[in-house]
Amino acid sequence: TEVDGVMPGHKLTKIVELKNTGTNPAYIRIKVEKAIALLEMSGTIPDLDLIKLDYNTSDWTDGGDGFYYYNRALEAGDLTEPLFTTVSFDISMGNIYQKSKATISVKAYAVQVANQDVTNPWDAKGWPEG
C-alpha cells in the first residue's frame, strides 16, 4: 500500500498478519526490513529508527536473527495475531526526509510442525533461507 503526504508525527495503520492456507499446522516466522530512499542523496545515511513499528511481543518473539517467530503453531486455515498494526514516523524527522520514500518489506516463511521435536518455533528445523 502506498501512502503520500506523510509528515513527521504521523501514524498509519498497517496490519501484518498471516493466514495458513495450507492443510497442515505450521510454524511461522516473518522478516521485516525498513528502508528510506532520500530524494537528495547528500551522503546522509537515513536513520531507520525514525520509523517505529508497534511490535506485538505477546504473540511474537524476536529471534535475534532478523526474524519474528509466532509463539505457537498455526493451524490450517487459521490467522496469526498481527505482528504489528501501526507505523509511526518520528516527530524529529528533519527536512532531509522531505519527499523521501519509506518502504517496509515483509517476508513470511513457514515450516511444517510434523516431525519437529521442539518446544519453541525458533528451534524448528527446515526453515527456508531468508
pLDDT digit string, tens, across residues 71-102: 999 999 999 999 999 999 999 998 888 888 99
Q: What cell numbers appear for 109 in the block? A: 516463511
* Dihedral Cα 58, 64, 66, 70, nearest 10 deg: -30
Whole-number percent of the chain with pLDDT over 90: 68
On whether the CB atoms of residues 2 and 87 are closer than 8 A, the answer is no
Q: State the pLDDT at residue 92.
A: 95
pTM attached to this predicted model: 0.89
pLDDT confidence bin for 130, thresholds 50/70/90: low
Domain extent listing, the chain: 11-116
pLDDT digit string, tens, across residues 103-112: 999 999 999 9
Measured between its terminal Cα atoms, the distance across the chain in Å is 22
